[in-house]
Chains A and B, each alone.
Chain A
Amino acid sequence: MSNFRKRDKTREKASIVAAKNRRELIAAGLNRRDLLKMGLLTSAGMLIPKVGLSAHPLTSAGFINDTPQSRPTTPFVEEMPRLVIKQPTQTLTGPPPQITPNTAGGESRTIAHQAYAQFPAQKFYEMHQKAFLAKSSPDFAQPTTLWGFDGIFPGPLLVARYGEPILVRQFNELPQQNNGFGINSTTTHLHNGHTPSESDGFPCFFNPSGKFYDHHYPNVLAGINSTHPGTGDIRESMHTLWYHDHRIDYTAQNVYKGLAGMYNLFHPEDSAYDTGNENTGFRLPSFPDYDINMVFNDAVYDEDDQLAFDLFNLDGILGDKMLVNGKVQPVLHVSPRRYRFRWLNMGPSRFYQLALLDPTNNSSKPIWQISVDGNLLKKPVQVSNGCRISVAERVDVIVDFTGLQGKTFYVENRLEQDDGRGPTGDVFSPGQGDKILKIIVDGPIVTDNSINPANIPANQAVYFYDFPATTASPVVTRVFRFERNNGQWAVNGKFATCDETRFAVKRNTVEKWIIQNNSGGWQHPIHMHFEEFQTLKINGSAPQTTGIITAGRKDVLRLEHNMQAEMFFRFRDFVGRYPIHCHNVVHEDHAMMVLLEINDTGDTKTNP
């Protein structure tokens, strides 16, 4: 596989030994059942963290990290919950919304809505961020204290449509008592939204406990006030977004604690695009019955079944339990038909390569990848060895279970990762990865009017949207070097602080950014707020359109070892402050971020 990366020679020996031990055990013909019998594998299918065999980070010099270890859990017992669909409200709690910040009324926003008059909200929602108890596995002796939007994890699913602006009022009702980690000061970011700065969830716009913050989401296509006045550029459509806390320096703690949810964005029901109805537009499987959001995250639970967070870790943290929609290794029952799955990697630090495993012969069932970061590709692309997603990346896939009544499949993570620095680059063969979700095809036979991607003619280049052109000349080329200086994460040798905006982008212009990774054995998911980018080149080559897909419109760049990527940006329509940052949230919380401002002047700093 072309995406195998050469192992970094500086990787610590202990990790190499651990990986070698695991491979030797597998090579010795010991299957997972044998390992289970030998006590080297938990019943949950995760390798037991022992010295030399650990899937957990080891500290240097062979010290084993004293990270707590979760109790064993029996996998594939509980149903995978569907996300709760958020309903609009007729009467918002508190004062009516207004364009200027309502400080006297208890709002923590400090900047007026810049686009509310142009795109007044048609629907109003309110969410209450609060502590709650939930059990992620029936084997846990007691429920876990979490923080969540509306007191659930994952938070409720916001379902929005282009042309239908909404307002979401976020109430911070989080307690001061944090049960070990987390800070009750938040800022809610809508990841990938074409959102004005004051509603974007900027890391330094705090919403402290006891306050509320009104977020205005215009739900418009990029270009609406610039290149494509009045309509926006249809090729900039985005469909699978998510929202999460983004409080500077505390994002890892707060998101790990549960402050995350998803946001599906459709076109109008009568449009020719992604409508959420399989009888119209692109005819993608209908929402919500056959269009299912799945939030993947990993976690460690202490002996009281409470979330364990490594407060003193700079590198990135890995869990020993893998969850989907808040449950450890759940089960999903489906009908024999096509489904759209929306996969989100919520972090905090693990990268995944998610594939569909047929356990009868340990083979891969091919799936159709239709998006990168929730943005539809030109057409569905068949992949068999899975989709790679680093933290915050999303991928939409179509899985065809037609005619497969009675079969069982697993969503399997095949990417090897031993510590928070990033994956090793090794990909497990089918059946040797971590099974995260069991899928049983035992639902009733139902009508399926969705498009069968196999029937799209091979010579048809575009089924969804074409990629916007990247031929426009940039007004400036900027270089961003992501690096590590004495354990301090830095960009171009500098550290992020809220009181410093490092550079200015002129609104409605094109820029080229060159992102470099000089941090040795580390990988970084680099996320840019507000505008998507297209990768022009990765290490001098064009991005891939098959296999591990890197082409398309994205908002996260997987910056791998010693990589240099060239990206095309077009900043349109709105102004204000936004960040670019590493979405390994532990790195992000240690200043791996640059703050910029979009305005009508701009600057030409080449190394901001």
Chain B
Amino acid sequence: MRTITRRSLIASIGAASLAGPFIVAAEAQETKALVNTTSTRDRIRARHFPNLLLTTHEGKKVRFYDDLLKDKIVVINFMYVKCERVCPGITANLAKLQKLLGSRLGRDIFMYSFTLKPEQDSPEVLRKYAEAYHAKGGWTFLTGTPEDMELLRRKLGFTDPDPRRDADKSNHIGNIRYGNEPLQLWGSCPGLSKASWIAESISWVDWPKAAKGERK
């Protein structure tokens, strides 16, 4: 199974590793951009990333934006422990994915699984679930108040426009969101897609060398 190394990630973003003749022009263009990116980053945060207080499967209190997203590459899905249809396949996929992410997991790439049923999924229940799937450090299961979890689900677009389907949690949205928060690069892929493909998709939002400097 292919693992993502720093080198393959850098290679996959092309421009960063290859000083082509057009880099200069592209950078010159960047400086001409009128609107600075801080404002769009803030705008995305204000619209999609409420800084909710959540609890991890290890019982730790964390803030959604400050602690989970800020300055990180993240992988996000929604699940619940007793879900029998779509979740087991996705969670098994994520278990494969964490191996593919190698040492990057927990360093600058983080995986988050948010419960859809906080009433049932206490931190303790989530901890057992995480253990069952051999979740490594860097893959965190999270719960919170039902209102907060519902708000988070909506803000991150894990919704179905049909209200009846949306209300049926056993048939919930099975996509995975991935993104690079500071670079404002966000994508999505089916949670039941191949783990190797999910890993490759994540590589598209990796740091350019110039933006984050050399990483170990």
Contacts and interface: CB of A to CB of B under 8 A. Distances in A.
B44 A180 contact: yes
Contact of B37 (A179, A184, A485): A179
Contact of B189 (A10, A143, A145, A591): A591
Nearest to A250: B187
Given A106-B20, A210-B21, A495-B189, 5 more contacts: A59-B159, A184-B15, A249-B201, A486-B175, A520-B162
A551 to B, nearest CB: 32
Contact of B21 (A12, A106, A181, A589): A106
Nearest to A520: B162
Interface in A470-507: 485-490, 495, 497-499
Contact of A172 (B22, B186, B193): B22
A400 B197 CA distance: 53
B27 A175 contact: yes
A145 B33 contact: yes
A517 B175 CA distance: 20
A487 B173 CA distance: 5
Contacts of B191: 486, 488
Contacts of A88: none
Interface string B192-211: 11101100110011001011
B137 interface: no
B22 A311 contact: no
A60 B39 contact: no
A145 B35 contact: yes
Nearest to A61: B163
Contacts of A130: 25-26, 29
B119 to A, nearest CB: 18
B86 A486 contact: yes
Interface residues of A, number: 72
A383 B79 CA distance: 51
Interface stretch (A226-234, A312-320, A423-431, A455-463): A312-320
A590 B171 contact: no
Interface in B147-187: 154-167, 171-175, 177, 179, 183-187
A177 B37 CA distance: 7
From A66, A145, A178, A311, name the one whose CB has the most chain B CB atoms within 10 angstroms: A311
Interface residues of B, number: 70
A497 B184 CA distance: 23
From B159, B173, B183, B184, name the one whose CB has the most chain A CB atoms within 10 angstroms: B159
A128 B163 CA distance: 45
Given A60-B160, A176-B15, A306-B35, A488 B166 contact: no
A210 B29 contact: no
A487 B175 contact: yes
A63 B166 CA distance: 12
A489 B175 CA distance: 9
Contacts of A590: 175, 188-190
Interface of A: 10-13, 57-61, 63, 66, 68, 94, 106, 108, 128, 130-133, 142-143, 145, 171-181, 183-185, 206, 208-212, 249-250, 302, 304, 306, 310-315, 419-421, 485-490, 495, 497-499, 520-521, 589-591
Contacts of A420: 161
B92 interface: no
A311 B41 CA distance: 12
Interface of B: 13-15, 18-23, 25-27, 29-30, 32-35, 37, 39-41, 43-44, 47-48, 85-86, 154-167, 171-175, 177, 179, 183-194, 196-197, 200-201, 204-205, 208, 210-211
A34 to B, nearest CB: 31
Given A131-B33, A591-B189, A311 B183 contact: no
B174 A485 contact: yes
Contacts of B41: 180
Given A61-B163, A176-B211, A212-B22, A497 B193 contact: yes
B73 to A, nearest CB: 14
Given A312-B186, A485-B174, A486-B171, A173 B26 contact: yes
A497 to B, nearest CB: 4
B39 to A, nearest CB: 7
A495 B22 contact: no
Contacts of B157: 310-314
13 contacts: A12-B162, A133-B33, A133-B34, A175-B29, A177-B30, A311-B157, A485-B174, A486-B171, A486-B172, A488-B174, A495-B190, A499-B196, A590-B189
7 pairs of A and B residues whose beta carbons are closest in the complex: A208-B14, A312-B157, A486-B174, A180-B40, A487-B173, A210-B20, A488-B190
B44 to A, nearest CB: 6
Contact of A175 (B21, B26, B186): B26
A211 B25 CA distance: 12
Given A487-B158, A497-B197, A304 B39 contact: yes
Main secondary structure of the interface of A (DSSP, over half): loop
From B15, B156, B161, B200, name the one whose CB has the most chain A CB atoms within 10 angstroms: B161
A179 B26 contact: no
A130 B26 CA distance: 7
Contacts of A133: 32-34
Contacts of A488: 173-175, 190-192
Nearest to B187: A249
B189 A315 contact: no
A504 to B, nearest CB: 20
A591 B190 CA distance: 7
A304 B38 CA distance: 13
A211 B30 contact: no
Contact of A210 (B23, B43, B196, B200): B23
Contact of A304 (B35, B160, B171, B192): B35
A342 to B, nearest CB: 30
A606 to B, nearest CB: 23
A60 B34 contact: no
Given A495-B193, A497-B197, A106 B22 contact: yes
From A132, A208, A315, name the one whose CB has the most chain B CB atoms within 10 angstroms: A208
A94 B25 CA distance: 14
A145 B35 CA distance: 7
A60 B161 CA distance: 5
Nearest to B25: A173
A174 B26 contact: yes
B13 A208 contact: yes
A466 B183 CA distance: 52
Contacts of A212: 22
Contacts of A314: 157, 173, 175, 188
A419 B25 CA distance: 39
Given A209-B14, A210-B26, A486-B171, A61 B187 contact: no
